[in-house]
Amino acid sequence: MNVQDILSVQVKEAVKNIFQVELETIEFQPTRKDFEGDITLVTFPMLRQVKTSPVKLGEAIGQYLVEHNNEIEKFNVVQGFLNIVLADQYYLNFFGKIKEDANFGKAPEGGESIMVEYSSPNTNKPLHLGHIRNNLLGFSVAEILKASGKKVYKTQIINDRGIHICKSMLAWQRFGNSETPESSGLKGDKLVGNYYVKFDKVYKEEVSYLLAQGKTEEEAKAEAPILKDAQEMLRKWEAGDKEVVDLWKTMNQWVYDGFEQTYDKLGVDFDKNYYESNTYLLGKDVVVKGLEKGIFYRKEDGSVWIDLTDEGLDEKIVLRSDGTAVYMTQDIGTAIQRVEDYAINGMVYTVGNEQDYHFKVLFLILKKLGFTWADNLYHLSYGMVDLPSGKMKSREGTVVDADDLIEEMTATAKNISEELGKLDGYSEPEKEELYRIIGLGALKYYILKVDPRKRILFNPEESVDFQGNTGPFIQYTYARIQSILRKAEFDYSEQILDYNLNDKEKELIKQLQLYPETVQLAAENHSPALIANYTYDLVKEFNSFYQNVTILGTEDETEKKFRVQLSKTVGDVIKSSFGLLGIQVPERM
């Protein structure tokens, strides 16, 4: 139980014993900075039940708490607010419980299972900056949900079929001269992406030629020979043509191998991959059953729709007139398949905010179909990531490649570290590993500290600042704490029960207390930003402590041991919270 839970019971006891009234609710808030106290009881709402003045009520409750709880030192009353000062013993007892708890802040795994989908790339191009935000958000939310007590499965659906995939295949067939990742020295996803760009270049040339021949723009775009050939290739793939399917398998494998290298660099992983080539037929049988139940209806041309106008949405097609599925059909079927595969209670879809409407419709359809787990579906909607250089376009090859950005972040970390002279005395391999940890930490923290729904302008230089609300600033503080621990060449492990806390020590313990609550709040809101900004606040509090008290230099042995214990616990929580963001912390820096 936290302090609010304990005090709630005691406040109700006090009011019942003194005023013979059973209180319905208790309201606490943090004590305002200009008053003395650690936690404040708001007495105004109680006056509806207790007929007395707010000051008298506060005084009576405060006196009762001091007499019945040795962890309360004193109190003061300001109008309808009872400010409670907790004794050092309360903080020492709390600290004693958490300092050796390797799982502090994390709840034990409960019965509820949830699946988090993220990444979900196309196999016609490499991962880019937008995928980085998607992956970092999805992975972090999965880790936070796990820390909140849920059983979590991480997944992606790989979009490995369709006309866009055939465009890359056709361009490689025409212009590739049997080039492979091995012969070219390129990662497979980059190689295939180059041919997607090549297709678009040839397509535009053909459209321009047809326009010059007098075709309308619509005709030219539809009749370009290379597009017609790609459409024919797609038809052959769907018919199971061996030559096309073999090429598809070969080129997709190149891309999968490339993706795995990028995921490894980013530090993200998956428990299960779903492939659109296996799921694109799912959902059609569900639509047929929904037709029988009157959830869907058939139009004159044979297409199947659902009318959601009563819910403030539109009519939505779920089967084309020729009986083929649309994306909505696949998503319905895939959601049902996942629940059958893993017996999950809910799902989180990490997808950009341009798909907000799609997921509103999907979730509503699944509810109408009678799936109770549909109440636990969540769209983790996020804004775009922009660079100072402007927007990105895949077809034109102007996308910010994920691997290139990771390399750029490592190089930026190197340049700034060398300018500051931070890594003197390190071997070259040690330096390179640190540059990677700092660069990736900067990238991840810069993206995750922002509310997912907001658009981001990503500035690499700004993200690798060793001051302010940045990943490197927090990593540097963690490394500083490890330095303190290395210098503490004495046993500081004993439990300290009798100790007078100063204000800086108390404030730091208060900040530590907020960690479990922050994890739960971040899970409820699907927001890594809450964890990121909590960690920054903890680090600011530690640095204030570090600058204002003597840790290893104090002559009082109990004081020295306690301050080293406190520093170690702060370091452990930084490592734990950064772990939820997928960020490593260096032992030295």
- pLDDT value at position 396? 44
pLDDT digits 0-9 by tens, 371-409 = 999 999 999 999 988 877 654 444 444 568 899 999 999
Identify whether residues 480 and 576 lie together within a single domain: yes
Nearest CA among 456, 416, 405 for reference residue 438: 416
The verdict on residue 388 lying in a domain is: no
**Is 500 strand, coil or helix?**
coil
pLDDT at 372: 96
- Tokens matching residue 144: 């936070």
Q: Are 455 and 133 within 8 A, CB to CB?
A: no
In a domain, 184, yes or no: yes
In a domain, 341, yes or no: no
Would residue 377 count as lying in a domain?
no
Q: By 3-state DSSP, what share of the chain in percent is helix, strand and coil, each rounded to 5?
A: 55, 10, 30
pLDDT at 32: 92
Residue 411 makes CB contacts below 8 A (sequence gap 6+) with 435, 439
> Residues in the chain with pLDDT < 70?
1, 389-399, 422
Same domain, 80 and 199: no
In this structure, are 541 and 442 located in the same domain? yes
283 domain-assigned? no
CA neighbor of 565 nearest in space, from 578, 552, 575: 552
Residues 187 and 65 in one domain: no
77 and 208 share one domain: no
Query: What CA–CA distances, in Å, run from 284 to 214, 321, 344?
Result: 42, 13, 22
User: What pLDDT does 389 receive?
Assistant: 66
Tokens 């302090």 identify what position?
A: 3
Question: Do 31 and 179 lie in a common domain?
Answer: no
Among 276, 300, 319, where does a domain finish?
276
Question: Are 413 and 530 part of one and the same domain?
Answer: yes
561 and 467 housed in the same domain: yes
Residue after which a domain boundary falls, among 254, 276, 298: 276
Clarify whether residues 65 and 213 are in a common domain. no
Same-domain check for residues 26 and 166: no
Q: What is the pTM of this model?
A: 0.92
Judge whether 343 lies within some domain.
no
Number of structural domains the chain divides into: 3
| Listed residues 253, 276, 299: the one ending a domain | 276
Parent domain of 12:
3-86
Q: Which CATH number fits the domain that encloses residue 425?
A: 1.10.730.10
Report whether 291 contacts 172 (CB < 8 A): no
